[in-house]
Structure 1
Amino acid sequence: MDYMHQLGSLSLGSRLKRLSDTLMSEVTHIYNEAGISLNPSYFPLLTLIHHQGPQGITQASEMLGVSHPAISKLADKMIREGYLIKSPHPQDKRASRLGLSDKADQVIEQAKPVWAALQQQLHFIEARQSLPLLDAVNEFEQLFQEQNFKNNVLQALNREAQNIEIINWAPQYKDDFKRLNMNWLNTYFNGELTETDRRSLNSPEDYYLARGGYLFFARQADKITAALALRLCENNSFEISKMAVDPQAQGLGIGRQLLLTALNKARRLHADKVWLETNSRLTRAVKLYSNFGFTTQEHPKGKSSYPRADMYMELQLTKA
């Protein structure tokens, strides 16, 4: 079963990329069999200049609907391989134009029969489709631009984020604390539990609160979507522990709000430092910690008591 299909429209970009990679690979093999040395990714710029004449980078970017840096990078590569020649613009001496080399002209002539055969085969596939692919792509691209996709998504995320409330411990959140943390433990570490995990997850009020620590939760539309524990330790320090965000609520900045709340609490209590143990596989979490100023250090005890933890990070709150 193709899992991409189950993801529906969320996998559109990945599926288009997969289809593009497959087509590129097939065409590369066809070129090789035909004795043609040509990178399929050169086709749009190569044929644009062949049909429209020499082009500036900006002009080619606008004609192909591709970013200026992407065209510039592609052109540089094609110049190095001898397909394009850069020459001064006849009207604007500050600008340059891209033209085809003799090598490119020869390759184009070689490739024309191959392109005709490719087009014939693609037309054959399109004729068997219930919906024309190119028409659907054209329509999607137009609607994508009209809807201002990026801004709409960011605005929706901001609206969601504004509905997030950071709250303190209450007994009714005990099951949520365990549920949220077991989710990532099951996902990344096959549900591995140490004795410390069992004590902290089964009795968080005893393990954290009774020892001078704190528990924070994110509530969204009456649902607990994230949790974080702040454990009081020796030497006037706190440990960030058991931070977990519901997978369906990730990407809304909830982890950032929780971490900021915990750090502000530690600062108000005049803690010297905050530390944590994590795993390098949890790249999003590690990046978040780094963004807050946490730095990777040698573990003060040599190694963690958690077999899964391969990183120790600290944030100094007071100057040494």
Structure 2
Amino acid sequence: MNLYQSLGYLVLGSRLRRMSETFLAEINRIYQNEGIEFEASWFPVFYLLSKNESLSIKELSEQTEVSHPAASQLITNLKNKNIVETSVCTDDGRRQLVQFTQKGKAILDQILPIWEAINTSMMDLAESDAAATQLLPAIAAMENVFRSANLADTISKKLNPKPATDE
């Protein structure tokens, strides 16, 4: 057992970050090897726009569960690469709608088969180990636990337990 495994929940964030960084580096290498100008960090926006003709930055922010400034920064980056464009919403002039440019649509056409290959490859890898098949359900369960309980408060209660009252 390595150091990270022996420390359990104390290093959960570090282990998840390392696993995520490794996974994303491998995925980015696939796009690079295929000669496609695409970064794995763009996936949520590409996926959502592949399912919708256009979305507002607020909708992208809410659906990807990132801050509005983070979503706006990503959209600005993609606009600078001529992958997406924005237009003013006709119903509400304050809303910016995001949609693919022709270049963005061409990239999407190139990456759709890669997404399918990633998905089937990951399912094959997970099925090679019974415990690995539980990864996605376990992540979903932990996300639900974090939504329903405030971790910092839970830890604080362990550090500062309320004294029992005499009745």
* Corresponding position: 1:134 with 2:136: yes
Is it true that 1:67 corresponds to 2:67 in the alignment?
Answer: yes
**1:52 maps to which residue?**
52
* Matched length: 161
Distance 1:25 1:153 in 2: 33
Structure 2: segments with no counterpart, 5+ residues? none
Using the TM superposition, give the Cα deviation of residue 105 of structure 1 relative to its aligned residue in structure 2, in angstroms. 0.6
From the CA coordinates, give the structure whose radius of gyration is larger: 1
Q: 1:154, 1:97 → 2: CA distance?
A: 43
CA offsets, 1:252-294, max 9 Å, x none? xxxxxxxxxxxxxxxxxxxxxxxxxxxxxxxxxxxxxxxxxxx
Give the corresponding residue for 1:123. Answer: 123
1:149 aligns with 2:141: no
Q: Decide whether aligned partners of structure 1 residues 119 and 84 sit closer, same or farther in structure 2, where only a CA change above 3 A counts.
A: same
Cα distance in 1 between the residues matched to 2:156 and 2:78:
37
1:33 is aligned to 33
What's the Cα RMSD here? Answer: 2.0
TM-score when normalising by structure 1: 0.47
Letter in 2 for 1:147: A
Deviations 1:90-127 (A, max 9, x none): 21011211111111110111111211111111011222
Letter in 1 for 2:144: Q
Please, which runs of 5 or more residues in structure 1 have no aligned partner?
A: 164-320
Task: Specify which structure has the higher proportion of strand.
Answer: 1
When normalised by structure 2's length, the TM-score is: 0.87
Whole-angstrom CA distance in 2 between matches of 1:148 and 1:73 = 29
1:192-203 alignment, distance < 5 Å: none
Residue deviations 1:122-166 (CA, integer Å, cap 9, x gap): 011222232421111111101111012233334555x27x99xxx
1:52 positional shift: 2.3
Assess, with a 3 A threshold, how the Cα gap between structure 1 residues 100 and 8 changes in structure 2: closer, same or farther: same
Q: Name the CA distance, whole Å, in 2 between partners of 1:116 and 1:59.
A: 25
Q: Residues 10 and 110 of structure 1: is their aligned pair in 2 closer, same or farther, counting only changes over 3 Å?
A: same
Q: Distance in 2 between matches of 1:109 and 1:92?
A: 31
